[in-house]
A and B are shown apart, each in its own frame.
Chain A
Amino acid sequence: MSDAAERWARNPLYVLELPISATRAEIERAGQKWLAMLELDLAAARLYATPLGPRARTPELVREAMAELREPDKRALHELWWLAPEDGPAPAPDDDGSPPDADAALGLDALTAAGWRRGA
């Protein structure tokens, strides 16, 4: 799976499990709830759904997601790239467990091109 696809799977709206219509207060409330649940090591907080399958949720990811959505410009970009997890493609994984055509299908190289970077 490419960096860009992984970056897409880290869309803050997926991480926080919020719709694109979420208000600022809802973003902060959801972030606070996930951080609290992760701190208590609750199973319900460990994974989140994406069109590319479930991903691990970490406190860093939650904080980053909250910060991204606080910035109107960045939020607009995330809204542009958001697809409801249940509407997204579910390509069959190849040998290394990643959907080989997902990048091309979604134009994800463009994310790398736009300066998106891989986080830890």
Chain B
Amino acid sequence: MLGAMSERPVYVGIDLGTTNSAVAVFDGETTQVIRNAQGATLTPSVVRIDAKGRVSVGAPARRWLERDADNTKSEFKRLMGTARALSFPASGQSATPPELAAKVLASLRQDVADQLGIMPVTAVISVPALFELPQSAATAEAAKLAGFERVELLQEPIASALAAGWSAREGDGRWLVYDLGGGTFDASLLETHEGFLRVVGHDGDNFLGGRDFDWAVVDWAIAEIAREHGVAIRRDEPAHARAVSLLKHAAEEAKVALSRTDEVVLSFAGPLELPGQVAIEPELAIDRATLERCIAPLVERTLDVSRRLLRSHDTEPEQLARIVFVGGPTVTPLLRQRVAEALHAPIAEGLDPMTLVAQGAAIYAATSALDARPAGPLVRRGVRLWLQFPAVSSDLTPHVVGRALAGDNTALPRRVALARDDGGWHSGWLELDGERAFATMVELLPRRANAFAISADDGAGNDVPVDPRSITIVQGLTINDPPLSRTIGVALASDRVQAYFERGTPLPARRSFTHTTIESVAKGSSDSVLKIPIVQGEHDHAHLCRLVGTLEIPGSAIARSLPAGSDVELTIELDRGGRLAARALVPTLDQSFEHVAQLLVPAADPEVLAASLGTLRRRVDDLRAEAFRRGMPQLISALERAESDLGEIARDLGAAQGGNDDAGQRARRNLLEVDAALDDLEQAKQWPELEQRAVRTMTWAGNQVAQLGTEREQALFEEIAGGVDRARRDRDVRELQRQLRLASQLGETAWYRDPDTWPMLFEDAASHLDSATDLPKAQALVREGKDARTRNDLAALRRVTEKLWKLLPHDPEARRQGFDSGVR
């Protein structure tokens, strides 16, 4: 167990939840969940500011949630990354979501200090797998406000898997992390192999959570009351809100009670009163079988998502080594049993679904060497050794690399040696090289903290004191670089996306691409701004992705006017926590721009959302009519799902119109999801056409590659052909399109070697000369091209043609959809 904490590193992990938060610490061998001042491991994510400006956090604040809702805020995590400030009218104060989250984090930080006597300065905080960049940035800001000097963010499913994997004794295999929160369901497929943890894939349902299970019981109770008492209670009737609230509360309690007993009577906090009717106090008994019937369709939906995830990664359910349950609703035995039966996979037992995420975050802090202890006063006890080694290692023989730093008048060591504290392993003397450095592999004992003593001498047997004199390496499961959860790219004027980082890219990461401006920017003009929108999402079209920031090059800041067709070298960087920085270098101006504006989740204006909802409903109607006409039952059933999702969105929209920003944000995100899902359905509808296109593309590209391609291109084409076959077999529209794009590009690569190709492409581009964005430049290029053609200089002709393409006009509608991007 953890003890004498100040002598050993302390790693802190925090699960900053929507409803509850938790903090855990890890000492290199075991995790410990920290209890708060009330003695609980869960701290409600609730903040209250009373009339005198006093702040309370957690359970003391939650007690006021119903009595004084105006001055007590919960679920602010959903508003992270928005510009919205929440007001506390009694005190006249207001606070942003990061400020409120900071109060919860500060409270958890104090709990660690109370229990361990150390005020932590670093921590790992978990965030949902699909958090957008602005939400991550807001979480990091909250941590800073809470007093943390350094913080890393970690996706929740990785945290859960890391915690589960740490304690697991079994060997390699694939796992399913089944995370059912209050309002969302996330499924993650992970793999452990030789001690390393890898995220294989992720899927989820934003419309399904534990609260739907409660509503299923409420709906059953409403039906029973109607049958026995002839009273019709309606969930969407404002006058019935109080009765519905009592039913909901009773349903929640009954659901929990049925985990331990076979039958329970719903207990209401008061009589159910409906306008114009006699108050009733129904006695409703519910048994496990009934509860199971109520929640079965919902569980089935989570299973559909899980199976879809497994299928997309060629994993049979039977191949799963275990299922890890996360989130309060997964405590329900019925649910666990049903999921395990349906997937024929064992449940990872002995794990607390409520605190697993915090424990995993703490373990991750160790792998990132984020010791939470404040730095003590600097006392040198010898020559400083600058050492690099993994704080946690899956490998049993990792490297320790070191370099002696020259100090004041201190004799430098010639040799160093490392010895494991149990006496079972010794490095022998390691000679320092010309850079005063050494590198050696050390041997670890499995699944424990391994301490090594470091000694040094002058080569003649005289001891040279060094600092540090010991290091500790923990052997166990690791995940080194957190993967990016959503693809990040730049929206182009064509409404396409230039991907910079694909989903799964290890962080930190940095990439650069060169873009071309499509319009000129006038020096000194305040109206003239070149926009480079940065988007996040898995779609080829920018308008289906989320805008997370815009890098702007304003006319007021440039040294001289920038003509259309200028190069812009854009570099985007992401740190380990997924925080973004961007820099645009304009070589012709010799200037760079770094200001990324609007790193905020877009506002959810109810009127705009209502208009989008209307559009999507019409789209569903049109698609359904066509599906019936063409006899496509699969499409009809998929549309039923989209329609039900739109119903949920309409409910959220209603709440948003009543001033609930949280519901508005949920509606905004979910509208995008349904929009993208309908896009997929539209494409699926075109499957026969897509198959025909596949045949045409593969025939054309295959011919080009066979005649003009190199051996390697031919080998690569074979690979792509295999990918096309797999995508056709799985009827995977996106994958088939991706493979066909690759095949086309490969075909074009070969085709460009044909001596007739570039003259033809040049003629085509030159025929659009009149519409070029920079006519004099385009005319000069055409003259240059004609000369090159006369000389039969195909390389020059290619260069000219590619430059001409950049001057051809863009489609204004596409540009509007691409967030007014000024680059291609």
Contact = CB atoms under 8 A, between A and B. Distances in A.
B395 A32 contact: yes
Given A40-B386, A114-B720, A66 B506 contact: yes
B29 interface: no
B510 interface: yes
Contacts of A112: 745, 749
A120 B512 contact: yes
A113 B511 contact: no
A110 B196 contact: no
Q: Is the interface of B mostly helix, strand, loop or mixed?
A: mixed
A22 to B, nearest CB: 12
A95 to B, nearest CB: 14
A36 B390 CA distance: 9
Interface string A21-53: 001110011001101110110110000000000
Contact of A110 (B435, B505, B716): B716
Nearest to B573: A120
A39 B390 CA distance: 13
A77 B720 CA distance: 11
A63, A112, A114 — which one has the most chain B CB atoms within 10 A of its CB? A114
Interface stretch (B79-87, B336-344, B397-405): B397-405
A71 to B, nearest CB: 8
B603 interface: no
A66 B395 contact: no
A110 B713 contact: yes
A107 B506 contact: no
Given A25-B194, A32-B398, A40 B511 contact: no
B399 A32 contact: yes
Interface residues of A, number: 36
Task: Indicate the size class of the contact surface on chain B.
Answer: 35 or more
Nearest to A60: B510
B388 interface: yes
A97 interface: no
B273 interface: no
A64 interface: yes
Contacts of A106: 710, 712
Contacts of A109: 713, 749, 752
Contacts of B499: 117
Interface in A51-68: 60, 63-64, 66-67
B716 A28 contact: no
Contacts of A36: 388-389, 399-401, 439
A67 B713 contact: no
Contact of A114 (B400, B437, B508, B742): B742
Contacts of B571: 120
Contacts of B386: 40
B512 A40 contact: no
Contact of B746 (A24, A60, A110): A110
Given A40-B402, A66-B481, A113 B742 contact: yes
Nearest to A81: B712
B401 A120 contact: no
Contact of B435 (A29, A32, A43): A43
A77 B715 CA distance: 11
Given A25-B395, A60-B510, A39 B481 contact: no
A98 B481 CA distance: 34
A67 B388 contact: no
Contacts of A110: 709-710, 712-713, 716, 746, 749
Contacts of A28: 196, 394-395, 480
Interface string B351-379: 00000000000000000000000000000
Question: Which of B388, B504, B709, B742 counts the most chain A CB atoms within 10 A?
Answer: B388
B734 to A, nearest CB: 14
Contact of B481 (A63, A81, A115, A117): A63
B509 interface: yes
A26 B179 CA distance: 33
Nearest to A23: B194
Interface in A80-94: 80-81
A107 B712 contact: yes
B538 interface: no
B748 interface: yes
A36, A39, A80 pick with most chain B CB within 10 angstroms: A36
B550 to A, nearest CB: 21
8 A-B pairs closest in CB distance = A107-B710, A36-B388, A107-B712, A36-B401, A113-B745, A110-B713, A67-B506, A113-B746
25 contacts: A24-B194, A24-B196, A25-B395, A28-B196, A28-B394, A28-B395, A29-B441, A33-B399, A36-B399, A40-B388, A40-B402, A40-B403, A42-B403, A43-B435, A60-B508, A66-B506, A80-B715, A80-B716, A106-B710, A107-B711, A107-B713, A110-B709, A114-B716, A118-B512, A120-B512
